[in-house]
């Protein structure tokens, strides 16, 4: 890259988001590290800066329209015009359908779907103006259905439809949109799932891994590698795709 392009990664204080932010920084992007709590982003920013990169911590609720606009304006001012967006922010509120509250439904849909919509809407103008952009949305193998996750499954399937429409609408401006659908990835979120089930994480992991053809759990670095490809110059003819990063065939 002749000049440093600016990337935004949401939900980047830990887990997959942190892995993606650090990988994009290593690829030469200046990275805005977004999460609900700005302070929680500081460690990721520090690691990027220690490695010689540029980064900015930004606290934002991606489901809040005014907050999203303010965050994107700040990024444009302090880092530069953003042309890569990774919509990774997500939460889980698992429950079987008959026990799931409307609040549990709304919370998950708001962060994943409304959040991806608001962030993309706020950033797309910079991409179309530049005639170049990369949108990477995080889906999940749960989009194919997963017990206890009616809200999360619906949101992650929705992300795929959203991605394909972005690819159609924005392609003529040099902007691609793709989705990554991770399988089992070892993060605080999957640890929380095991804890909620009352199972030690190592046991939970062993149970899941025996169904994975490559015989191991995924790591944030596995997802970061896929995001790095989609954000790259060479991926300009790949758009509207859903890549399952799950250690085996899923869709």
Active site residues: 152
Helical packing angle, 188-196 and 201-209, nearest 10°: 100
Cα dist from 87 to 35, 45, 91, 95, 123, whole Å: 11, 18, 13, 24, 11
Decide: 80 and 30 in contact? Cβ < 8 Å: yes
242 sits in which H/E element: strand 242-245
Report strand pairing: 55-59 vs 82-87: unpaired
How far, in Å, CA of 11 to CA of 21, rounded?
10
Q: Where are the alpha helices (DSSP H) in the chain?
A: 15-26, 42-50, 65-78, 102-109, 115-130, 150-170, 188-196, 201-209, 220-231
How far, in Å, CA of 175 to CA of 218, rounded?
29
């Amino acid at each position: 890259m002749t000049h440093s392009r600016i990337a935004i990664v949401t939900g980047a204080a830990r887990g997959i988001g942190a892995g993606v932010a650090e990988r994009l920084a290593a690829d030469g992007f200046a990275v805005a590290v977004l999460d609900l709590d700005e302070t929680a982003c500081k460690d990721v920013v520090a690691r990027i800066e220690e490695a010689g990169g540029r980064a900015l911590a930004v606290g934002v609720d991606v489901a809040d329209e005014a907050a999203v606009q303010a965050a994107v304006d700040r990024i444009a001012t302090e880092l530069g015009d953003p042309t890569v967006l990774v919509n990774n922010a997500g939460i889980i509120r698992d429950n079987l359908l008959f026990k799931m509250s409307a609040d549990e439904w709304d919370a998950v849909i708001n962060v994943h779907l409304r959040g991806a919509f608001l962030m993309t809407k706020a950033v797309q103008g910079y991409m179309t103006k530049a005639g170049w952009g990369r949108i990477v949305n995080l889906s999940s193998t749960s989009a194919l259905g997963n017990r206890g996750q009616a809200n999360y499954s619906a949101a992650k399937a929705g992300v795929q439809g959203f991605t394909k429409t972005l690819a159609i609408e924005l392609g003529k401006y040099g902007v691609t949109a793709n989705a990554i659908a991770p399988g089992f990835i070892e993060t605080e979120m999957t640890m929380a799932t095991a804890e909620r089930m009352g199972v030690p994480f190592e046991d939970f992991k062993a149970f899941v891994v025996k169904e994975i053809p490559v015989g191991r759990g995924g790591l944030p670095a596995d997802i970061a590698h896929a995001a790095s490809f989609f954000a790259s110059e060479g991926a300009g003819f790949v758009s509207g795709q859903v890549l399952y990063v799950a250690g085996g065939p899923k869709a």
